[in-house]
Structure 1
Amino acid sequence: MANSAWGYGVPMISVVGDSFCVPYTMEITVKKRIQGFSKAHYDVFDSSGNLLLQIDGSVWKISKKRVMRDPTGIPLLTLKQTICNFGQSAKWRKVWTVHPGENSDDILFRVEERNPVQLKTRLDVFLPDNDNKKAGDFYVTGSFASLSFKAYKDKSPIAQVHHSYSWGSFCKGRESFKVRVQPEVDYSFIMALLVILEENEN
């Protein structure tokens, strides 16, 4: 995975919490598995194999919901999907709201699908204090076909994802991602974006 222009000394990007920002590049492994016929589960590990985060939720539902937990099982975030129509001429698009904990109505950020009919997915990310409905604070691009995703702040990449995909693992309901998160970037925020993009792609 190529190095980006993002480097040391840049302002911290803390969305979920400062404790998820570290002063060095994070090399993370994300393992996804389908449990039975009803649940998707993600495990997030650091480069030493320590469990950092867990994300789970039901697979076969129209409105998806995913809960991110710490290694002890305490809920950190809830990711909720709705499908909205933006105007009479607009297509139906997927929108996710991300909330702290498991039962809060507060919104940490919102993720909108730019255009549902496109080869390369783009998701725009809006923080609560963003009054500009067209320009997000962050955006994510990628596609399942290209097996790689990137997250950006303005035009600077803040995280890159490589999808280690094979037909054998896919048929067994298992997938693996390698993620590089730039220094001082909230890795739990990046994991939430990765799960949302992956769920939209699927």
Structure 2
Amino acid sequence: MATQASDKSSGITIIGSEFVCPQSSDLTIVGDTVKDTNGNKVFKVKTPLFGLHNKRILVDPNDSPLLTMKMKVTSKHDRWQVYRGSDLDDKIFTVKRSSTVQLKTRVEVFLKQNQTKESSCDFTIKGRFMKRACTIYVGASTKIIAQVYEGDERLVATIYPNVDYAFIVTLIFVFDLINMGGTGI
């Protein structure tokens, strides 16, 4: 599995190369379930029954944990930290609001190797809270890697070619958690 981003002709791999497709793909999100265009379950986000409700676990179709998303309680920027698997030992990236006061939501993503300085983000998510739509960019550039819009009581995500769709799905859930004050989709 990949631990660092690669943004070459091979694409962007954050979670794992098995989640990278050579063509553009659409995924639908209804509640806590992510499905492909054929209606097959790709991922599900679970909220642990016990403990604080500031944690979510992304699982595959076999209910094996892929990632844990955990909100940092004392953060003024609605910071969420994402870890590989179900334990909290292997942090992959951090997602946070770019400023405390915003008219449009702007969220920044910092990969593991960039978390200590956080001088420039690795990815940016820009969207509108009320429309539940967002666009995901590489760094602070205009290079789009995914877009999300709301339609018929579901979210539809278009992931661009050679981009890790498990990473994008995680960003969508965290973005929604930040917008909804931690309560989620």
TM-score for the superposition, normalised by structure 2: 0.84
Alignment of 1:149-164 (within 5 A): 149-153=134-138, 154-164=141-151
The number of residue pairs the alignment matches comes to 169
Which residue does 2:103 correspond to in 1?
119
Paired position in structure 2 for 1:104 = 88
Q: CA separation in 1, counterparts of 2:119 and 2:17?
A: 27
Distance 2:87 2:48 in 1: 17
Taking the aligned partners of 2:132 and 2:72, their CA distance within structure 1 comes to: 25
Candidates 92, 110, 125, aligned match of 1:140: 125
Structure 1 portions without partners, runs of 5+: 1-8, 33-41, 86-91, 166-174
Q: CA deviation at 1:129?
A: 1.1
Q: What's 1:82 paired with? A: 72
Residue 150 of structure 1 aligns to a residue in which SS? strand
Distance in 2 between the 1:54 and 1:136 partners? 27
Flag the structure with higher strand content. 1
| 1:7-156 mapped onto 2 (5 Å cutoff) | 10-32=9-31, 42-57=32-47, 64-84=54-74, 92-130=76-114, 132-153=117-138, 154-156=141-143
Deviations 1:128-176 (A, max 9, x none): 11254221100101122233101111320100000126xxxxxxxxx41
What one-letter code is carried by the residue in structure 1 that aligns with 2:80?
W
Q: Percent identity?
A: 31
Report Cα offsets for 1:75-114 as digits up to 9, x if no partner: 00000001445xxxxxx22111100110131101111111
The aligned counterpart of 1:185 is 163
Maintained 8 Å contact 1:58/1:64: no
Structure 2 stretches lacking a partner, 5+ long: 1-7, 181-185
Hey, which bits of structure 1, 4+ residues long, moved more than 2 A?
none
Inter-partner Cα distance in structure 1 for 2:77 and 2:53: 12
Alpha carbons of 1:155 and 1:84: their partners in 2 closer, same or farther (altered >3 Å)?
farther
Secondary structure class of the residue paired with 2:79: strand
Cα distance in 2 between the residues matched to 1:25 and 1:13:
13
Q: Decide whether aligned partners of structure 1 residues 62 and 114 sit closer, same or farther in structure 2, where only a CA change above 3 A counts.
A: farther
Task: Give CA-to-partner distance per residue, 1:31-53, whole Å, 9 cap, x none.
Answer: 11xxxxxxxxx111111111111
> TM-score, normalization: structure 1?
0.78
Amino acid at match of 1:69: V
Tell me, what secondary structure is at the counterpart of 1:93?
coil
**Structure 1 counterpart of 2:23, which letter?**
Y
